[in-house]
Structure 1
Amino acid sequence: MDNKFKVKLGISIGDTNGIGPEVVVKTLADQRILNFCTPVIYASADLLKQVKQALREEHFQFQVVDSAQALVPRKVNVISCWEDELEVNSGNPTPASGKASLDSLLAACKDLKAGLLDGLVTAPINKDNIQSEDFRFPGHTEFLTSYFDAPESLMLLVSEGLRVATVTGHIPVKEVSSKLTEELLIRKMTILLDSLQKDFGIQKPRIALLGLNPHAGEQGLLGREEVEIIRPAVLHMKDRGHLVFGPYPADGFFGMRQYQQVDAVLSMYHDQGLIPFKTLAFESGVNYTAGLPIVRTSPDHGTAYDIAAKHKASETSFREALFLAYDIVRKRQEAAMPTV
């Protein structure tokens, strides 16, 4: 790594009519961030000037560069991703804002894949208006898994003292049961355990699995998934020496704060894990995609059109996403250094 640049973190701007540009500018107005990383925003100077002026954020300064090969150290760098002046219609998803979010994401991913960046922090997209020939995915996670040729990935929500992953991601609830298999659970547990060791520095991780059904199925009375799929997968991992526990009834598990006794929780579907996580850590939570060859984080909130351009958006989650990306990149870099 070129030390003068610290860690180079690409930032995709997200839907330009949502709160993405606002939280990016608010975060990077704190110039202390430049002491440990070089942020690279993929957007346009015109958009960022508009946001800066609207927020009256004089401390936000940036340098426009032609490419990631011409970055300026100790500066917020901006790489232009569109030539035409972008019409900003805050609070309303439009085809233009969807295209801008995709252009930003694709440009950042291209540079990351080429090794010109060390990690990626993604601002929120609209999963509908970003759809195109180049993006036919239900979200960032699935797109990045495909783009970086990963066999499989895992959505992992992270905050201080709480990590929650999901076995299934952006799929309808009615399809969850049919997607669950013992093999899938084993693969997801393997990714989670590996990430906790490699990315979070936990030598012997402890993970808890939630049941799918109410009361974790009541020994088959309320559903067979726990008996036939989840418990056998847990036993499989236990037999291989891993500290894996469950399945637990999801409501009681969080109600009794049992998550404080483990390093991560593996939920069976999106809302089962994200509702308690966002209840406990909405402003500080970070979405991390485990299992990829690259480092990607994002805030745990969406585009929040209802408060776009109202100067109400909190940058806390985006800032934490930037910090987590930095921490994981450094851990991976240090692990890759030859030992004497």
Structure 2
Amino acid sequence: MISRLALTPGEPAGIGPDLCVMLAQKPYPETEIIAIADPVLLQQRAERLGISLELIPFDELKPASSLSPGKLRFLPAGLNHEVVCGQLNPANAEYVLDTLRIATDGCLKGYFDGMVTGPVHKGIINDAGLSFTGHTEYLSALCEDAYPVMMLATPDLRVALVTTHLPLSEVSQAITKQRVQQVASTLHNDLQRCFGIAQPRIMVCGLNPHAGEQGYLGREEIEIIQPALAELNSQGMQLIGPLPADTIFTPVHLQQADAILAMYHDQGLPVLKHLGFGNAVNITLGLPIIRTSVDHGTALPLAGTNQASLGSLQYAVKIAETMVKSRLRERSGN
């Protein structure tokens, strides 16, 4: 069976369009990739990069089929203003959100099996007067306020987050028993559904240095995190912790873990990005759809220069393919 993945390039002035054009040069015999983008932008970027590209309109009534390298299916979204490589324009912010809406709607209606997203520039979207804190939160709203969980992954490490894009001063207040349990349960369930791990082992970070040092460096571990994990473990999950974040990423722990659950963004992600930046993937768990993304930003200075790296996007497609197959196996009972 050939799966269908929607691909949104993200910020048009960044490297997202470059990556779409470059990806189209690779063979994907088991996947049909559909770029949700302005076709003129894709063609112009291909010409700038000196890459041959044949654009083919997407027809949801036709069965999925892969394309030979050099060809790319597209579903059009129209730009408001001409794009200059490396130069942000708030007039095109609505276009970026349009591509996400089209891709998400297609997933919800069953036209696509999943979506892969390129890098966006949050600042320019907000400068345009549009409220946007990130893909994770935006897609949650489009999916009728599902409870999303952000997880980044490399081939050797998965890190999920209890809190995402919050100022550090607000993190402690956001760590509640309910939130820890919701995130941990979603992580556990999607490791089973989307990755085929029958009984996931999840190592959980403490919030404070040394996981609170028995309450001397903070009591969140004793009063919130430990009770939350204990209840879930009594239901059959395997949640180990809370453990000190400065030692949880050592080999002795990682070799026993299917995933690490960190309390906040910069507790877990620096380690993962040090390990695999450029070859990592951002995965949104807890949605009714499959969504993966690159692990990097828009790289405005590299747009149109032929210097962008395709590694993270290729890995995002690979993981999306894996998740699609795992969900299909689960639904079929195999």
Residue 49 of structure 1 pairs with residue 56 of structure 2: no
Alpha-carbon distance in structure 2 between the residues aligned to 1:258 and 1:89:
47
After TM superposition, the structure 1 stretch with the greater mean CA deviation from structure 2, 47-56 or 204-213, is: 47-56
Q: Does the Cα contact within 8 Å between 1:63 and 1:72 map onto a contact in 2?
A: no
Q: 1:264 deviation in Å? A: 0.3
Residue 193 (structure 1) aligned to one of 182, 188, 200: 188
What is the distance in 2 between the residues matched to 1:211 and 1:132? 36
Q: Normalising by structure 1, what TM-score?
A: 0.91
* 1:217-250 CA-partner distances (Å, limit 9, x unpaired): 1111111111111111122222222211111111
Which of these residues, 20, 23, 35, is aligned with residue 24 of structure 1? Answer: 20
With normalisation by structure 2, the TM-score equals 0.93
User: Which amino acid in the other structure matches residue 261 of structure 1?
Assistant: Q
Question: In 2, Cα distance between the equivalents of 1:324 and 1:217?
Answer: 35
Shift of 1:183: 1.5
Match in the other structure for 1:62? 55
1:10 aligns with 2:6: yes
- Separation in structure 2 between the aligned mates of residue 133 and residue 127 of structure 1, nearest angstrom: 10
Name the CA distance, whole Å, in 2 between partners of 1:227 and 1:17: 48
**Hey, what does 1:97 align to over in structure 2?**
92
Correspondence 1:203-282 to 2 at 5 A? 203-256=198-251, 258-282=253-277
1:15 maps to a residue whose letter is: E
Gaps of 5+ in 2: none
Q: How many residues align?
A: 330
Q: 1:198 to 1:315 in 2, by over 3 A?
A: same
Whether contact under 8 Å (2:273, 2:280) holds in the other structure is: yes
C-alpha distance after superposition, 1:37-83 (max 9, x if no partner) = 1111111221111111122223x433134x54467733321121116
* 1:160 alignment counterpart: 155
Q: Is the 8 A contact 2:91 2:128 kept in 1?
A: no
* Residues 101-134 of structure 1: per-residue CA shift (max 9 Å, x gap): 1121122222222221111111111112224999
Gap change, CA 1:81 and 1:233, over 3 Å in 2: same
Contact 1:25 1:51 in 2 (8 A): yes
Give the aligned partner of residue 124 of structure 1: 119
1:71 touches 1:77 (CA, 8 Å); kept in 2? Answer: no
Show structure 1 runs of 5+ residues with no match. Answer: none
Contact kept? 2:90, 2:128, Cα under 8 Å:
no
Aligned alpha-carbon RMSD (Å): 2.0
Q: Deviations over 1:186-244 (max 9, x none)?
A: 11110000011111011010001111111111111111111111111122222222211
Cα distance in 1 for residues equivalent to 2:146 and 2:329: 25
Contact 1:17 1:91 in 2 (8 A): yes
| CA–CA distance in structure 1, aligned partners of residues 256 and 88 of structure 2 | 42
Question: What is the SS of the residue equivalent to 2:203?
Answer: strand
8 Å Cα contact 2:4-2:33 kept in structure 1: yes
Q: Distance in 2 between matches of 1:83 and 1:168?
A: 33
1:24 positional shift: 1.7
